[in-house]
Structure 1
Amino acid sequence: MDCFGSDSEEESSEPISRDDSCGVLSVHPHTETSLLNHVRNSLADFQLPGTRSGTTKTTKAEHVLEAVDEFCIQRHWMMHVGPEKGEIIARSLRESIDKKLSSSSHSNCTFVLVELGSYCGYSSILMAKECIAAYGVRIDLKLITLEIHPDYIAIARELVHLSGLDDIISLREVSFNGHATNMVEILQNELRNIFDKKSQTVPIDLLFIDHDKDSYKTDLIRLEYSGLIRQGSRVVADNVVFAQIYNYLEYVQKRQQDGVAVTNTVFCNVEYSTKELSAGNNPSLSDGIDYLLDP
């Protein structure tokens, strides 16, 4: 499609202006494939002779994220969390890790991070990059991201590979039986294998929810009942304002009223919506990320 632009050598050096037809909430087929091609070409330019061997994981991951942001701002809107929300999520991640380190008797510890809704892997790459950059070997990060769409998993797996984070990020496909997904079973098995536990449930340190909006509340409750979310876990949920996920917000607010947890909604903009906001279009592009943590 024309709104994707071109990655050919003849491409103009002038910044590409995102066409209105490719603006916020626009969906076109093959956008994810076009994004992947853009990132590959961007990395090909980035990894010049003489610098390839010195490219660190954080540098590669950062460049992948920048290439994704460039594509989504200049060419076609996509539903990655983006840089504004990314900083909110990274801040919550740092707070959660700092809390675990402060309560640990060791100078390092294992941190379990689970994401519901991989899409193209942007937020997983962002969180893994943030953890490596801020904590290095002090944190042994176990990041598991779950996705129901095979096509998205294929794109996410390639972007994770381009970021050099295959050994940190585990992508797993979930299935739906008409009533619920096998999310809990996958996570239980994955964590038992990681920690070599035959029956004991290993809790999640931070859960990032960004999948089917109708499943936020039910899936959180399922994880609570399974023991994967318990005291000490932190839950971060995207799109709670823009997608009007009121049943989730009412549930976590009730948890706060019961003294079980504290919930806080951080207001922000819908990802990659700066152009529309500055032009005065789509004024209802406000969104929020909700934290749920111990009181």
Structure 2
Amino acid sequence: MLESSSVLLFIVFVLLFLLLLFVVLVRKNGTAALIWNEIIREKITNFIMNQSKEQRILNFVLQNAVRGDPCSVMDTIDKYCSQKEWAMNVGCEKGLILDKTVEEIKPSVVLELGTYCGYSAIRIARLLKAGARLLTVEFNPEFAAIAKQMIEFAGVQDKVNILEGPSEEIIPQLKKKYEVDTLDFVFLDHWKDRYSPDTILLQECNLLRKGSVLLADNVICPGAPEFLKYIRNNPSFQCTNYPAHLEYMEVQDAMEKAVFLG
């Protein structure tokens, strides 16, 4: 009996040690970080609380942010995701790169691929000039519903239109169904394996004009190698890389800006 208890304690000790080691690795390793936050930790918390992480983020915003204040909503999301639960928003560090790009372009028509909880949509919309509009595409209905509430709470709903569905189906509909002539700015932050095919699709649908700007997030972590290969070797684009970190972590990441030359 005593020997059995000792073996059990040893197993528990080893498991706790491995868990601690994994958590330490998470801070420096992008793959480990994503596995820990998106698979292990999130699934356990969702099961215990019987509620999605995205709903928890929304509830925190509704309880702590100032209604009608986009910056307050963004700061509250950043606070939650840096202190409580990691989430795949663009975050405050890379958000400044996004801000600068929007301020330089002063776009009238913006397309965002990957709405998630609405953080980057709010971030972009607060900088848009009067009459400008943002079309943001989200495949997941639950995320789209959360984003709708978040965007309305931030008070930027008059500039944002959430389009539900896969990007490869919505992009070809933009001209006729959503009356888009060409896009001034495209923010790519959805499935990384869709970055390259959707960029090609935007060109095939004649949605890019000379001077249209694409900005892609997470090109290092989790990474979009096919997109980088395509965009950097395409004479129709002029590229700039912005080194940064994975949102709310010390893991290396980057954003890639591509100006369409026509």
- What band does the TM-score fall into relative to the shorter chain? 0.7 to 0.9
The structure-2 alpha-carbon separation of the partners of 1:172 and 1:294, relative to structure 1 and needing over 3 Å to count, comes to: closer
Q: CA deviation at 1:221?
A: 0.1
Counterpart residue number, 2:120: 123
Which segments of 5 or more consecutive residues in structure 2 lack a partner in the other structure?
A: 1-22, 28-32, 47-51
Query: Counterparts in 2 of 1:5-154, with a 5 A limit?
Result: 24-25=33-34, 26-27=37-38, 28=42, 29=46, 30-43=52-65, 46=66, 57=68, 60-97=69-106, 111-131=108-128, 135=129, 137=130, 140-154=131-145
Which segments of 5 or more consecutive residues in structure 1 lack a partner in the other structure?
A: 1-19, 48-56, 101-110, 193-200, 278-284
176, 190, 197: which one aligns with 1:189: 176
Counterpart residue number, 1:107: none
265, 268, 272: which one aligns with 2:248: 272
Alpha-carbon distance between aligned partners in 2 of 1:80 and 1:219, rounded to the nearest angstrom: 20
Three-state SS of the structure 2 residue aligned to 1:181 is helix
CA RMSD of the aligned region, Å? 2.0
Query: Is the 8 Å Cα contact of residues 208 and 260 (structure 2) preserved in structure 1?
Result: no
Bigger Rg, which one: 2
- TM-score normalised over the length of structure 2: 0.79
Alpha-carbon distance between aligned partners in 2 of 1:221 and 1:185, rounded to the nearest angstrom: 12
> Which whole-Å deviations, capped at 9, do the CAs of 1:204-237 have from their partners, x for residues lacking one?
0000001011110001101101001232211000
Say yes or no: does 1:247 pair with 2:226. Answer: yes
Q: CA deviation at 1:254?
A: 1.2
- TM-score normalised over the length of structure 1: 0.70
Alpha-carbon distance between aligned partners in 2 of 1:294 and 1:226, rounded to the nearest angstrom: 14
Say yes or no: does 1:172 pair with 2:163. Answer: yes
Q: CA deviation at 1:174?
A: 1.2
Counterpart residue number, 2:8: none
Q: CA deviation at 1:96?
A: 1.3
Three-state SS of the structure 2 residue aligned to 1:118 is coil
Three-state SS of the structure 2 residue aligned to 1:241 is helix
202, 213, 221: which one aligns with 2:192: 213
Q: Which structure: greater helix fraction?
A: 2
**One-letter code aligned to 1:230:** R
Counterpart residue number, 1:9: none
Query: Is the 8 Å Cα contact of residues 209 and 260 (structure 2) preserved in structure 1?
Result: no
State the percentage of identical aligned residues. 29
**One-letter code aligned to 2:183:** I
Alpha-carbon distance between aligned partners in 1 of 2:253 and 2:177, rounded to the nearest angstrom: 32
Query: Is the 8 Å Cα contact of residues 191 and 202 (structure 1) preserved in structure 2?
Result: no
